[in-house]
Amino acid sequence: MKLVNLKDDSQQLSFAEALQIGLGRQQGLFFPAELTPLKDIPGLLAMNLIDRSAAILGHLLGDEISAQDLHDIVSRAFAFPAPLATVDDNTYCLELFHGPTLAFKDFGARFMAQCLAHFAGDRKITILTATSGDTGAAVAHAFHGLENVQVVILYPQGKISLLQEKLFTTLGGNIRTVAIEGDFDQCQALVKAAFDDQTLREDIHLNSANSINISRLLAQICYYFEAFVQLPDEARENVLISVPSGNFGNLTAGMLAKVLGLPVTGFIAATNSNDTVPRYLKDGVWDPQATVATLSNAMDVSQPNNWPRIEALIERGYLPASVLRGYAVDEDYTQVAMRQLAAKGYVSEPHAAVAYRALNALRDVQQAGIFLGTAHPAKFRESVENILGSPISLPIELAEVAGKEILSSVLPADFAKLKAYLYRELV
């Protein structure tokens, strides 16, 4: 697979290279140099999740990973289902929260981890990343127990919920977690300083694992096919998919699935009040406002970092602009949507509710609608219980970690201290 830097055409890389460096020159995103549709869609739709996903990824990656190795990677990465729940007659939720950290980020993070381990072979590598919650947990679980990979995760001390903290700080083994006495921006600055320190980078073999890594998007393409497979035949004619969006990685993957031949009609870019994209799609002006805090906080992003990839899909003629519409949902309607879903017997959480509301606002009556369930309701227990007025139970994954001990070290937001820690632990 050949990838190009969207900011600098002259930088062309293999998948293995793009995987390992993450971002290109001038902070440019990597994008497939060419995309060709899959050949036998009906044949693919007849396969199970693992075989189909291995076939789709094999089509994209070419001969960079052998078919057998890729099948092994996919079996280890996608070790949990993505069921399509029926909400009513013609409305479905693709539940992407049955992985170890109960959020869709498990799919991308686990595939990325398996690929990095595959290409590292016998070399030792270190993954250093900062998290404000969700991604850290997905990354920690994805790499846990992988040979030759050491993981160090920085997070702001006292700024994430206790349950969220326990989800990634209790693993031990090759997963080290450091509570930084500072905020998330300071954690990110420390990671950046580490990558800028060439000697340190080489001494501990630093690799990037950030959310714009192309491997994550490729993995996420697969579950859009899985959604379609589970639709009843009569619903397959005209399908609209609503994607709750923050950095727009998930939506990019959906649109890539359509380029590859997924027979759906269109997509909705559903956002909360951080509505840069819906406004842009309406009036053509890119005008990010200050980010505001909402109930769907994983989507509190006003400068979405994957947007250039969606623009590229349209500018390069892979898809007409008309396949994508935007819709922003405010806090009141997010709550209304959660109550409407509960009245139909489906307990959901704020991110999925945003997508559900946007779907109902834009769909045609005849259209089958799928909205993505990006997180388990228990991950947002407090707001879900407040809004629905009834208690929800903790799934086994959360109940289990609740009793475990936090294994984190604590460091000040000081690069010299972090550097000393990294040498002590890893060299």
Ligand X SMILES: *Cc1c(COP(=O)(O)O)cnc(C)c1O
Report in angstroms how near the CB of residue 211 gets to ligand X at its nearest.
7
Measured from the CB atom, the residue of 114 and 374 that comes closer to ligand X is 374
Please say whether the beta carbons of 118 and 71 come within 8 A: no
Question: Candidates 124-132, 202-210, 243-251, 328-336 — which segment interacts with ligand X by CB under 6 A?
Answer: 243-251
- 377 forms part of the interface with ligand X (CB under 6 A): no
**Residue closer to ligand X, measured from CB, 55 or 387:** 387
- In terms of CB distance, is 376 or 419 closer to ligand X? 376
Instruction: Return the H-helix or E-strand segment holding 223.
Output: helix 214-230
DSSP notation for 299-351:
G--SS-TTHHHHHHHHHTTSS-GGGEEEEE--HHHHHHHHHHHHHTT----HH
Nearer to ligand X, 323 or 375 (CB): 375
Contact between residue 127 and residue 201 where contact means Cβ atoms under 8 Å apart:
no
Q: Is 374 in the site for ligand X (CB under 6 A)?
A: yes
Q: What are phi and psi of 271, to 5 degrees?
A: -125, 165
In the complex, least distance from residue 323 CB atom to ligand X, rounded to whole angstroms? 17
What one-letter code names the amino acid at 117? A
* Binding range to ligand X, per CB under 6 A, among 5-13, 164-172, 230-238, 246-254: 246-254
Contact of 190 with 163, CB cutoff 8 Å: no
Burial class (CB in 10 A: 0-12, 13-18, 19+), 177: buried
Question: Which part of the chain contacts ligand X (CB under 6 A), choosing from 123-131, 170-178, 244-252, 385-393?
Answer: 244-252
The secondary structure of 361-417 as a DSSP string is: HH--TT-EEEEEE-B-GGGGHHHHHHHHSS--PPPHHHHHHHTSPP--EEEES-HHH
Closer CB to ligand X, 250 or 348, in the complex = 250
Stretch that binds ligand X, among 73-81, 230-238, 239-247, 414-422 (CB under 6 A): 239-247
Using CB under 6 A, pick the residue from 31, 92, 248, 333 that binds ligand X.
248
**Does 103 sit near ligand X (CB under 6 A)?**
yes
Q: Is 216 a residue that touches ligand X (CB under 6 A)?
A: no
What whole-number distance in Å separates Cα of residue 406 and Cα of residue 392?
A: 25
* Complex with ligand X: residue 298 or 342, whichever CB lies closer: 298
Q: Which residues contact residue 74 at a Cβ distance below 8 angstroms, ignoring those fewer than 6 apart?
A: 50, 53, 54, 57, 111, 222
Which CB, 194 or 375, lies closer to ligand X? 375
CA distances from 112 to 22, 101, 138, 208, 349 (A): 11, 15, 11, 10, 27
Query: Tokens standing for 92?
Result: 């479905």
**Shortest reach from residue 272's CB to ligand X, in Å:** 10
244 contributes a contact to ligand X by CB under 6 A: yes
Q: Which is nearer to ligand X, 134 or 226 (CB)?
A: 134
Q: Which is nearer to ligand X, 111 or 248 (CB)?
A: 248
Q: Which of residues 121-140 bind ligand X (CB under 6 A)?
A: 134
Residues with Cβ < 8 Å from 373, sequence gap 6 or more?
85, 93, 94, 95, 96, 97, 348, 349, 352
**Residue 271: CB minimum distance to ligand X, A:** 9
Are 327 and 269 a contacting pair, CB within 8 Å? yes
Q: What radius of gyration, in Å, describes the C-alpha atoms of the chain?
A: 21
Is-contact 81 229, C-beta < 8 A?
no
Element (H, E) at 138: helix 134-143
Please pick, from the candidates 57, 214, 257, 299, the single residue that binds ligand X as defined by CB under 6 A: 299
Nearer to ligand X, 167 or 422 (CB): 167
**250 is an interface residue for ligand X by CB under 6 A:** yes
**Residues 93/372, Cβ–Cβ less than 8 Å:** yes
Distance from C-alpha of 14 to C-alpha of 3, rounded to nearest angstrom? 6
Which residue in the set 188, 210, 247, 340 belongs to the binding site for ligand X (CB under 6 A)?
A: 247
Asked if residue 266 binds ligand X (CB under 6 A), the reply is no
User: Which helix (DSSP H) or strand (DSSP E) does residue 254 occupy?
Assistant: helix 249-260
Q: Which is nearer to ligand X, 325 or 419 (CB)?
A: 325
When binding is defined by CB under 6 A, the residue of 249, 326, 369, 377 that contacts ligand X is: 249
Q: Does 238 bind ligand X (CB under 6 A)?
A: no
191 binds ligand X (CB under 6 A): no
Position among 187, 375, 387, 411 found at the interface with ligand X (CB under 6 A): 375
Q: Note whether 298 binds ligand X by CB under 6 A.
A: yes
User: Is residue 206 involved in binding ligand X (CB under 6 A)?
Assistant: no
Binding mask 322-351 for ligand X (x = CB under 6 A): -----------------------------x
Q: Residues interacting with ligand X, by CB under 6 A?
A: 103, 105, 134, 244-250, 298-299, 351, 374-375
